[in-house]
Amino acid sequence: MSIPSCLTARRGAPLSGLVRAPGDKSMSHRALILGAMATGVTDIEGLLEGDDVLATARAVEAFGAAVERLGEGRWRVTGRGGFQQPAGVIDCGNAGTGVRLLMGAAAGYPVTTTFDGDASLRKRPMKRVTGPLTDMGARFGWKVEPDRLPVEIQGGALTAIDFIQPVASAQVKSAILLAGLNADGVTTVTEPEPSRDHTERMLRAFGAEVGVLPMGAGWRVSLKGGPRLTGTRVAVPGDPSSAAFPLAAGLIVPGSEVTVEGVMLNPLRTGLFETWREMGADLTVSNRRMSGGEELGDVTARNSALTGVVVPTDRAASMIDEYPILAATAAFATGATVMRGIGEMRVKESDRIALMAAGLIACGVTVEEEPEGFTVTGGPVRGGATVTTHGDHRIAMSHLVLGLAANKAVTVDESGMIATSFPGFVELMRGLGADIAASG
C-alpha cells in the first residue's frame, strides 16, 4: 500500500498490542550480496521487502545471480560463484548500505560497473569506502563530482590491506571485507570500538574464516582471501532499528503497552534499549531464543516516566540509526539528554542532527545543537508543527511518533520514503491504536 505524501499524527487513546518488526535491513542486504557471491542456493526467510533492499536484489540479479521471490519475506538467490559483467548502470535508489557493500563486492571481480542512486544518495560521501578499495587496487572514475555518485569502478586483481578505521563504521568494514574475499593475502580492519558484526557472522555461515582479535576498546577483524563461499539458509530476525518506533510510542503515550516480537538482540545493535533503560524505561525482554546465529526476543515497552541522561559516546556505533527516535523520546523526559560523538549522523540520508533539532524546536522542544551532537531538554511537547523531512525516513517516523504524545498534532511534509526501511509502518502503528492519517 502506498503511503500518502503528508501524514499527521495526533494524540489519542493508549496504544496496545503485539506486532512483528520487519526483517533487519542490514542482514537483508548482506544475505542477498553474499548469496550472489556464493556458489549454489541461498534461501532467505524474513527478508525486508523495503525499497532499499529491493534495489539490492535487482543489483545482484544484474551481476548474474538468479533471484526469485517465493512468498512474503521468502527469497531464493542462486549464485554463480561471483559477479558477472552487468549490462547497465546499477541503480541503488536510496540504499547507502546497499551501494557501499556492493562496491566492495564488485571490486573483487574483473568487471567494470557504474553505480548510481537517487538524488538523496547522490549527496552522500563515498570516499570513505572508495579510498580503502583504491588502496586494494580497484580503480574509480567519478562521473560528475568527486566523492559522489555516479561512479565507475573497475575491479579485479586486488591486494589485501591492513586498514585502521578512524571512526567505527560497519559499512566501511563490510565493503573492505567483501573486497578482501577476492584479494591476495589477509585483509584486516581495525576499529576503535566494535561496529555491528553481521558481515562477520554471515561470512562464517557462507564458509569464510573470519578472525576477531580484541584491540583496546575495539577489535581487529581479519579475513584470508580466496575462500569458497557456498549458498546457505539465512533467517533474518526483526530489525531493532524498526522495532524502536512502536516501542518508543509505547514509552511516551500515556497508558500504553506495546510488544514487538522476534527482535534481534545482537549486543552491537541494542544501544538504544540500554539507553532507554538508563532513562528509566519499563522495557522488558521475554522468549529469548537463537536463530541463524543471532539472539532474538520479544520486547515490551510500557509507558514510563523518563529522565534525561548523558549517552556514552562509545555507544554511538551500536545505535547510530536510532538517535532520531531517541531524541523524540528525550523530548518527553525530565531534564537533558546529551548525545555527542555522533557526527556520522550529518552524512546519513540527510543531516539528521540538523533536521531533528529543527523539527523538535518547531514542536516547542528545547534543543542545543553542536557540530558532533545535540542536547534535548524534555518537558511538555507543544507539537502543532509541520516538519521538513528532506526525504529521510527516520526523520519522518520519529516525528510521527512524537506527534502521538504531543499536545497538538504533528505533520511530516513527506512520507513515501518510509517504505525504504519500514513498509507497512502506518498500518502497523494504526493496528496498535495510533492516530496517523493522511493530511492535505
**Residues annotated as part of the active site:** 321
Determine the Cα–Cα distance for residues 231 and 60; give it in Å rounded to an integer. 14
Q: Which three cell numbers stand for residue 206?
A: 557462507
DSSP string, 286-331: EEEEEETTEEEEEEEEE----B--EE-GGGHHHHGGGHHHHHHHHT
CA distance 16 to 259: 8
Nearest alpha carbon to residue 121 among 66, 171, 86, 180: 171
Angle at 326 between CA 339 and CA 296, to 5 degrees: 120
Bridge partners of 364, per DSSP, are none
Could you tell me if residue 207 is left (phi over 0), alpha (psi between -120 and 50 degrees) or otherwise beta? left
Between helix 96-107 and helix 51-62 the angle, nearest 10°, is 20
Length reported for the chain: 440
Question: Residue 214: enclosing H or E segment and its boundaries?
Answer: strand 210-215
DSSP 35-65: HHHSEEEEEEES---SHHHHHHHHHHHHTT-
d(CA 17, CA 151): 46
Q: What b-and-e string marks burial along 354-372, b requiring 16 or more CB atoms within 10 Å of the CB? A: ebbbbbbebbbbebeeeee
Nearest by Cα to 436 from 1, 12, 2: 12
Element (H, E) at 219: strand 218-224
Long-range contacts made by residues 226-230, C-beta under 8 angstroms, separation at least 24? 226/181, 226/182, 227/181, 228/39, 229/34, 229/37, 229/38, 229/39, 229/79, 229/81, 229/181, 230/38, 230/39, 230/40, 230/206
70 burial type by CB count under 10 A (0-12 exposed, 13-18 middle, 19+ buried): exposed
CA distance 148 to 126: 6
